[in-house]
Amino acid sequence: MSDQLTVLFLPESAYGPTNQCIGLGNLLLQRGHRVVFASEASWAGRLSPLGFEERLVDLAEPDPDAGAEDAGQFWTDFIAETAPEFRKSTTEQLETFIKPTYQALIDGAKHAEPALKRIIEEVRPDVLVEDNVVLFPALTTSGAPFVRIVSCNPLEVPGEGVAPALSGLPQDDPGSWASFRKEFEQTHQGLWEEFDAWVQEQGGSPLPHLEFMPRDNAANIYVYPEEADYVAARPLDPSWHRIDSSVRLTDDEYVVPDQVADRPQGSALIYLSLGSLGGADVELMQTLADSLADSRHRFIVSKGPQADRISLADNMVGEQTLPQTKVIPQVDLVITHGGNNTTTEALHFGKPMVLLPLFWDQYDNAQRMHELGFGIRLATYAHTPDELNGAIEKLLADTDLRERMHAMGARIRARDGLRKGADIIEQVGHTHRQGSPST
């Protein structure tokens, strides 16, 4: 029996989950395994150059009149169209943004189910890995072991002792949690019941109440540093494995341009990114650039999918996309939307953050960094330029914080979450192989 495993990844189509799986998949490739990505069709041709096999799936009927899409274009368009929703409170967003987003994800899962079953039959994986917030039941009904990755804030796994996911509510104010939980149940009960019934029709097991992913899996992996985790307030069973970070090794090197590398004394270098989806809000991106135009500091800006519509000041450089894991180590501070990848990568490299959450778990990450003192959370659309620049100056002036975060980053890197995640997937696959009658 060969030691080579066949691992099938299915990430959600956005850059964050896909990059998370690329990091793990690349390490498994280096160990000699066969790695296959069942990816949404707009990723065609983008994964095979990294050594992965591509099996493409549509999440909706293709538009015959549409041209080739950028990777993850569906979600870029979706976010751009719904950006006005992000000005609402997290409770208000439950009905007008969170529920439609879950519905779109569910619709995609239903559309992809027949194609995924065919892909699994053809690929014959030893282990299946999904990084998403809704289940694709073909992955749990194939007979091969299923590994769930949570690359969102770990509040996605609920508990009575922690704030409700997607709320951005503080851990030290449990009295504020009940009304959000009630609103989530009222807005999502029917949607969850319908999805749970469909999952069972496909042969899947019942889902936990008001959860859209199963917990009873061969392994569950979540990405969050020990220093920021919630397990003291919400213990997890032994199937759950924390990897403190998962920084991919596939990004290109980044040389800081002379325009911002040559800085006046006392000037810091700062990275600004609202992620591949948040960057679609051109008005917000331009507001941030304008607010920082007179700063004494220098900025590297990830401009996002509409980069040509964003004007940068003389103290800034930027591109549509940047090799983030090679940029962050070279800066002093990160201004971020609070996406899980950027948040955990900033902690991995020991960088303080200014956080401007837009949607989903970004509020939870922003609140967690704020309450732990690793950053400052601002009101994304209501803050003033003085507040933004003041937060930057406060964090940069806190030498004790910067020293503590530098030491924390060294500990996180030493724990080597990427290797640990690959080890878990590998162990699940080999255990299944050894127990299979066909081997």
* 28 plus 161 within the same structural domain: yes
* 78 plus 164 within the same structural domain: yes
Kindly provide the b/e burial profile for residues 402-428, where b requires at least 16 CB atoms within 10 angstroms of the residue's own CB: bebbeebbeebeeebbbebbbbbbbeb
- Does residue 322 form part of some domain? yes
- Does residue 131 form part of some domain? yes
pLDDT tens digit string along 123-138? 999 999 999 999 999 9
- Does residue 303 form part of some domain? yes
Q: Of 250, 370, 270, 252, give the one whose Cα is nearest residue 315.
A: 270
* 423 plus 364 within the same structural domain: no
The better pLDDT of the pair 163, 275 is held by 163
* 327 plus 388 within the same structural domain: yes
The DSSP call for residue 126 is S
Number of domains in the chain: 2
State phi, psi for 49 to the nearest 5 degrees.
-65, -20
* 330 plus 420 within the same structural domain: no
Which residue's structure tokens are 């943004």? Answer: 97
- What is the reported pLDDT for 89? 94
CATH number at residue 201: 3.40.50.2000
Find the range with the poorest average confidence among 82-86, 200-204, 285-289, 322-326: 82-86
- Does residue 1 form part of some domain? no
What is the rounded CA–CA span in Å between residue 288 and residue 351? 20
pLDDT tens digit string along 162-172? 999 999 999 99
Q: Of 118, 125, 164, give the one whose Cα is nearest residue 145.
A: 125
Residues in the chain: 439
What is the pTM for the complete model shown?
0.93
What is the rounded CA–CA span in Å between residue 141 and residue 427? 20
What is the rounded CA–CA span in Å between residue 355 and residue 31? 37
Q: Where are the alpha helices (DSSP H) in 251-384?
A: 258-261, 275-278, 282-291, 324-327, 340-348, 362-372
Cβ atoms within 10 Å of 126's Cβ, excluding its own? 24
Q: Where are the extended beta strands (E) located within 356-439?
A: 375-377
- Does residue 253 form part of some domain? no
Mean pLDDT across 329-347: 96
Confidence band, pLDDT 50/70/90 cuts, at residue 438: very low
Range of the domain at 155: 6-248+416-435
- 3-state DSSP call for residue 238? coil
* Predicted confidence (pLDDT) at residue 151 exceeds the cutoff of 60: yes
* 274 plus 422 within the same structural domain: no
Q: Which two tokens stand for residue 251?
A: 């990004």
Q: Beta 316-319 vs 375-377: how paired, if at all?
A: unpaired
pLDDT tens digit string along 182-226? 999 999 999 999 999 999 999 999 999 999 999 999 999 999 999
* 63 plus 28 within the same structural domain: yes
* 240 plus 296 within the same structural domain: no
- What is the reported pLDDT for 439? 35
* 134 plus 228 within the same structural domain: yes
Q: Which two tokens stand for residue 84?
A: 């006005």
* 321 plus 367 within the same structural domain: yes
- What is the reported pLDDT for 107? 95
* 41 plus 171 within the same structural domain: yes
Element housing 243 (H / E):
strand 240-243
Most confident range (mean pLDDT) of 190-204, 249-263, 422-436 is 190-204
